[in-house]
Amino acid sequence: MTRTFALSFQLKRTKKHASGNAPIYQRITIDRARVEIATKRLINPEIWNIEAQKAMGNSDEARSVNKHLKTLEQKAYEVYREMLERKLPITAQSFKDRMNGIEEVETPRMLVAIFEEHNKQMAALIGKEYAPATAIRYQTTLKHVINFLKWKYKVSDIDIRRLDHEFVTSLEFYLRTVRNCNNNSAVKYIKNVKKIVHLCMANNWLDRNPFGKYKTKIKEVIRDFLSSEELEAIQNKVFVSDRLTQVRDVFLFSCFTGLAYADVNKLRRAEISSGIDNNKWIFTTRQKTDTASRIPLLPVPLNILAKYEGHPECANEGRLLPVLTNQKMNAYLKEIADVCGIQKELTFHIARHTFATTVTLANGVSIESVSKMLGHKNIRTTQHYAKILDRQVSQDMDILREKFKCKSIVSK
């Protein structure tokens, strides 16, 4: 914030002493607020030059007063410069206090306190700007930071001015060793702390970036998905338990729509309507990223919706499908994997990966269309799925192999 600063010397004739001399005051104006500071000097009003703001003549009295005023002027500019450099709050009164030797004790800004306030504001914006999972991730990050401070510095909080490169690298070491976080988890927690630091810098609480020379990288993770044979095994399996059948159906619905658990759970009848081709589409918004997702419904999910149209849980709660808690869904999916002879650790999120790979990309759906249906903000996120399709690579290489065979025949 740009501030205005003005300095002048004023003779207070109304406070004339018995000797006939009047006191000189130093007037400071900061952003239109004015204070006056006594210079502790008296002078004969007859030799005071109002325009020049100093004593006239070469008398000992004039030279002494002018020298003192010059010293006060230099001190005022030095104090103002120091307050600017230290990013101290500058008001007319705070400046006067420092000129008079009354230095306000600066309350340090503490990392945990700032982090807690950030998380409090984030929690208030859940559903508007942030997803619940995002808020939980920042709460978890804060817990790691608090435990790290106790482990490393034996304190419960730390002045943000103490944050430096060594703090960042030590935090990363703590996450990887003491907390046993994998690379990507550690990087995500560090990234959350980095956001808090950038917040401090934006508020001018920090004038240097402790992350300036820190470099790290997310490692690409190969995500599991179901093959067409595994997907078919789940589809065709007849379960004795109605609960397993219900979980299987909801899981398959996600396999053929690409919706994550949170999005299937919140799906409502109003989000199903006719698309550009007059077929049924899902028009929803992803809870995680708040991005639009438009998905044409294939026969499998259409049949599942029809199956549960009159289900009491759906009717009572206004939902399309009877979705259990994520924890229960995953527990039942492990049982389904065992019954179907699937060796992979089956979780609900595998359904989304299966849609991206086995259901769409492997069947020739363009990556642009897949990206739009998944609600990805960046197509690079979708390209990750294309990299793991060995079948597609094999098919592409078969085409190339045939081309080279033809060339070799011609050369003979």
Give the model confidence (pLDDT) of 346-391 as tens digits. Answer: 999 899 889 988 898 888 888 888 888 888 877 777 777 766 565 5
Distance from C-alpha of 117 to C-alpha of 111, rounded to nearest angstrom = 10
pLDDT at 83: 85
Length of the chain measured in residues: 412
Across-strand partners of 37?
26
Contact criterion met (CB below 8 Å) for 91 and 104: no
Given this model, what pLDDT does residue 392 score? 61
Whole-number pLDDT of residue 17: 87
pLDDT at res. 167: 95
pLDDT value, residue 103: 67
Distance CA 183, CA 221 (A): 10
Structural tokens at position 50: 């109002």
Q: Which residues contact 291 (CB under 8 A, 6 or more apart)?
A: 285, 375, 376, 377
Secondary structure element (H or E) that encloses residue 55, with its range: strand 54-55
In which residue are the tokens 């999972």 written?
A: 133
Q: Which residue has the tokens 């020379």?
A: 213
pLDDT of 388 reads 57
C-alpha Rg value of the chain to the nearest Å: 36
Alpha-helical runs (H) found in 27-91:
60-85
Q: Give the model's pLDDT for residue 380.
A: 74
Low pLDDT (below 50) residues in the chain: 1
In this structure, are residues 92 and 34 in contact, taking their beta carbons and an 8 Å threshold?
yes
The C-alpha angle with vertex 266 and arms to 265 and 272, in degrees rounded to 5, equals 110
3-state secondary structure of 326: helix
Residues 6+ apart with CB under 8 A from 48: 11, 22, 24, 54, 55, 56
User: In one letter, which amino acid is 176?
Assistant: R
Cα dihedral: 238, 243, 248, 254 (round 10): 160
Domain limits, the chain: 5-99, 111-202, 228-395
Question: Strand 48-49 relative to strand 292-296: parallel, antiparallel, unpaired?
Answer: unpaired
What is the value of pTM for the model shown?
0.57
Q: Please give the CATH superfamily to which domain 228-395 belongs.
A: Intergrase catalytic core (1.10.443.10)
pLDDT of residue 303: 93
Instruction: For residues 407 and 386, give the distance between their C-alpha atoms in angstroms, rounded to a whole number.
Output: 29
